[in-house]
Structure 1
């Protein structure tokens, strides 16, 4: 038997399977196939996966020591085709389960899975798959072929390029290049600062975090104190509001340009108005003539004082996404982008377009910024995702700074397999096809939004970069959860947005099936078959984490703070006690749904007389990991009240709700901290007793003052949950 005979046999089987799957997919015969049991809204998805998709569950559990977030199934690329993602699990007949992905693997895939063109390219380039060269010193014929190919698609005005590994690296190097440019060319050698936009997401390295303005992404990380300005989202139905937003954004940018963030710099409104009027006038009569643009820019520069020019050099660049993807599939008007380009050009400030997500055809144009018909090109364009690596395109002027020895260097300069995948399809981009696919998907989404106006709204986006909003932010996860249970993968964007990203060559049958699944999902919500509060966030973390008490922030719950944190508190209840839906068999897969308190009950408690509540928030993640809540009014635990000798004496604090995330490894330590915080506040409020119906295990794991407190009643199977509870009464003037 030859050395590779077994591998060749498996490869032959794979190729035959791909050929069959491709033929069936193109014939419209591939469909979503998931366990019907996933539709049981009374149980959490991960519990149903454990029971009905055991191979996925086993794979997740085996990896549980790793730190990651993921959808709760193990996907199998070998059974995937087009936008249909196979998983490792099979039904009783051996047929693979498949989900329909309308997230394009977080916008990273232009074409479908197991695309025959890509499969063939991989087979023909096997040496580059086997050996990964460190291209910073060892260029291969493949890496050089990629560099040559990038010349053919480089955006206008940015003909030079630098290959890295990820989008965050591309943005990071863009930031480094503009800062170095300022260091080398400004009088004081100060690199200055980069201006970015509210709602932006540019990556998770420290530099890219400085221009990312999402609290969850930045929380806890020290980074540059750089300014951001409003992103003027275009509202097609409200042109005056759009103009007001654009004016506000441009004025804030102009203030930064003329002041350099230095104190006491003059920021005359009259000067601003005069400059913007000149830009408006020029754009109104603009001919596509670079010479005219150059002459206008030069004339405007000559009106700037030397002090203004010097201060404006402190602005190293303006960084903007043509369309904010992670921020909610949000776009500004072409008018705004044209003004932005001229304003930055007049002040000689580089304009950087982050096209990590939008680049290479997603909007129906090769580059999304081409939608704006800019008067002059940008200075830098970053690209990744569909590039399968990271790419930085720069102007000739900024390319000078890349010649600085080793200041711009990365060991790998891209992954060879990603290069093969990109080159296989690079010259086969069909923008008309992308627009056709996008039009079919968008018209279907618009029909859905029309039919379910009380749930969906604001369908938007060019090409296949589509999105829509769920009317209420807390319903968004319900929609995603229910869609996943039906076999449709949808990704969130912004506060209430949902992305709908078909692959460029998605078959009409797949688009239609995705829309049908989404319609069934929305109908579940509209008809009341699924409660709006029934679903936690779909994306789950596998494994558990220890959260040191010293990293915990204690938040006192008032009606105002509870309102701000209620969705996180509800998520703790859901993860601890399961779904709000009533089960048929009491205990289900370790969760006890009947113990979960509805959000309305908690809202009533926090607003009641003598209410005391505490939420423990992890300072690192910003997430609520535990909470406790009660009041002077006992209105939950009727079974325990009968045994309370001090009921009605108005001297007792009743702890009525408490939950800790089950994924916290040191839950016992967290619960002691939580209960002690509640006790401290009850004492300060003048209560003599603390009574609570609580899990009996806390008799052994709780704080000392609770362990020694008398138990007035035992409930072995509280609410048929299978969990023993006990009614404790603590004398606050004696115990502690």
Structure 2
């Protein structure tokens, strides 16, 4: 039923991807037990005796999982539309990735685990240059890190360093007072500066990043935070084409608030050195904003001599149909910094030459990333290009979005506000209890999915997710909505 209707609609969109089927992938989900099943429950008891395990949903058999399908410890086979929180670009056990460490040189890069800031391998410059030339968002430099949180955390340091260098003068040396005061956390060496973020944002859980995270109280309660400005992110009404005027007013109102916060924090003596923003607020509810909003935000940052950091930890890597989501926005110039992780396998950030500190050791840790993960990323990029996976994402994403909009019409009293780009999509339930019920019922039917915000179901499939996978998901989702009473 879904396939025929959707194919008719998709005649308007002729973008087609190459076949991305992974050999050995199941044809459909198979559920044998409750989820979590008895083996997962036993393993949860064992893990719970060793560490806090309250977030664990199930245990996974990573030997059996393949392609778009996750196999749990009880041999339930689930179609995975969530992919380790948006982190698997090619799904499970992709054949090209399984070959990566058959190469002895690659294996030695992995097991010798160099401290990259001090003892990088002799092929490290070549590998980094290869990544820059293939996928950089038009930025000339890259700093590698371990994860998304530490990427944002260290990117803040680059912003503060650059802001102060510009204020001090490019070639002016640190004063004795600055050197002595900074080690005891006092100005002028430790200046009062801030990073502006947005309500409902999520930028990580390390201490500095947490001051810019505003999605759930459980992330932040009991943890001291900086007094940094928090602006309102646009909250759009859907469908977009029917609410254009109101949504444009949202943009104007939020941008005016950004300008006011620059003034307010300048007067407080905590000037804003930079703005951090997600192209689509992910953990906070898949909230999106228009290209015009981001264009104006960049202009406001420049006018105030501040820097723009776009957090592409979850949106980067191709899931919106472009490698970087902010490429949809037609910005006047590239952002000053773009952070990444998840589908990129390692963390880090691309940045302008201006953002590079003049002195060594200012942005540094033992590992500064992971050459093994970069080697995996090289293969991921190769497969994305060879199999035209960005085209596949646009095609499958169009199909999924049309399907979700059809479900909205049929079950308007349960779901609404379909949104997103590519396969990076979300739909709202009418309340949080219903959203949680939908996720539970989907899992019982063999669909691994995720939530975000207070009432959203979010889709984060692999780039190899195709039409037949979308049909399975939409059919199961429709069954769940029909069963709700």
- Normalising by structure 2, we get a TM-score of 0.85
In 2, distance between residues paired with 1:494 and 1:362?
A: 19
Aligned residue number for residue 162 of structure 1: 143
Q: Does structure 1 retain, via aligned residues, the 8 Å contact 2:146–2:370?
A: yes
In 2, distance between residues paired with 1:447 and 1:142?
A: 51
Q: Does structure 1 retain, via aligned residues, the 8 Å contact 2:68–2:464?
A: no
In the TM superposition, what whole-angstrom CA distance separates every residue of 1:255-274 from its partner, at most 9, and x where no partner exists?
233343416xxxxxxxxxxx
RCO comparison, higher one (Cα < 8 Å, 6+): 2
Query: Residue 317 of structure 2 aligns to a residue in which SS?
Result: coil
Q: Does structure 2 retain, via aligned residues, the 8 Å contact 1:191–1:316?
A: no
In the TM superposition, what whole-angstrom CA distance separates every residue of 1:510-541 from its partner, at most 9, and x where no partner exists?
2211222222222221xx3xxxxxxxxxxxxx
Q: Does structure 1 retain, via aligned residues, the 8 Å contact 2:142–2:350?
A: yes
The worse-fitting range, judged by mean Cα deviation, of 116-125 and 77-86 is: 116-125
Aligned residue number for residue 196 of structure 2: 195
Indicate which of 25, 49, 62 corresponds to 1:77.
62
In 1, distance between residues paired with 2:123 and 2:456?
A: 40
Aligned residue number for residue 418 of structure 2: 459
- Residue 244 in structure 1 maps to residue 249 in structure 2: yes
In the TM superposition, what whole-angstrom CA distance separates every residue of 1:198-229 from its partner, at most 9, and x where no partner exists?
11000001110111113332111002110111
State the Cα distance separating 1:75 from its structure 2 match.
0.3
Aligned residue number for residue 538 of structure 1: none
In 1, distance between residues paired with 2:472 and 2:284?
A: 27
In the TM superposition, what whole-angstrom CA distance separates every residue of 1:467-509 from its partner, at most 9, and x where no partner exists?
1101122211111111111111111111101111221112322
Where in structure 1 do 4 or more consecutive aligned residues deviate above 6 Å?
A: none
Aligned residue number for residue 233 of structure 2: 231
In 1, distance between residues paired with 2:371 and 2:53?
A: 25
Q: Does structure 1 retain, via aligned residues, the 8 Å contact 2:60–2:72?
A: yes
State the Cα distance separating 1:85 from its structure 2 match.
0.5
Indicate which of 143, 148, 163 corresponds to 2:129.
148
In 2, distance between residues paired with 1:225 and 1:347?
A: 19
CA distance 1:145–1:116, change in 2 (3 Å):
farther
Indicate which of 436, 441, 458 corresponds to 2:400.
441
In 2, distance between residues paired with 1:246 and 1:22?
A: 43
Aligned residue number for residue 267 of structure 2: 262
Aligned residue number for residue 327 of structure 1: 284
Aligned residue number for residue 410 of structure 1: 365
Matched ranges for 1:382-421 at <5 A: 382-399=339-356, 401=357, 403-421=358-376
Indicate which of 73, 76, 80 corresponds to 1:88.
73
Q: Does structure 2 retain, via aligned residues, the 8 Å contact 1:155–1:367?
A: no
In 2, distance between residues paired with 1:220 and 1:331?
A: 30
Q: Does structure 2 retain, via aligned residues, the 8 Å contact 1:161–1:392?
A: yes
State the Cα distance separating 1:465 from its structure 2 match.
0.5
In 2, distance between residues paired with 1:140 and 1:522?
A: 54
Q: CA RMSD in A?
A: 2.1
CA distance 1:191–1:471, change in 2 (3 Å):
same
Indicate which of 87, 91, 97 corresponds to 1:118.
97
Q: Does structure 1 retain, via aligned residues, the 8 Å contact 2:135–2:323?
A: no
Q: Does structure 2 retain, via aligned residues, the 8 Å contact 1:81–1:112?
A: yes
Matched ranges for 1:14-33 at <5 A: 22-25=22-25, 29-33=26-30
Matched ranges for 1:581-730 at <5 A: none
Query: Residue 454 of structure 1 aligns to a residue in which SS?
Result: coil
State the Cα distance separating 1:145 from its structure 2 match.
4.2
In 1, distance between residues paired with 2:425 and 2:243?
A: 20
Q: Does structure 2 retain, via aligned residues, the 8 Å contact 1:157–1:395?
A: no
In 1, distance between residues paired with 2:329 and 2:479?
A: 37
Indicate which of 418, 439, 460 corresponds to 1:501.
460
Gaps of 5+ in 1: 1-20, 39-44, 90-95, 264-310, 529-736
- Normalising by structure 1, we get a TM-score of 0.57
CA distance 1:191–1:178, change in 2 (3 Å):
farther
Matched ranges for 1:244-323 at <5 A: 244-262=249-267, 314-323=271-280
Indicate which of 461, 466, 473 corresponds to 1:514.
473
State the Cα distance separating 1:361 from its structure 2 match.
1.3
State the Cα distance separating 1:325 from its structure 2 match.
0.9
In 2, distance between residues paired with 1:113 and 1:144?
A: 29
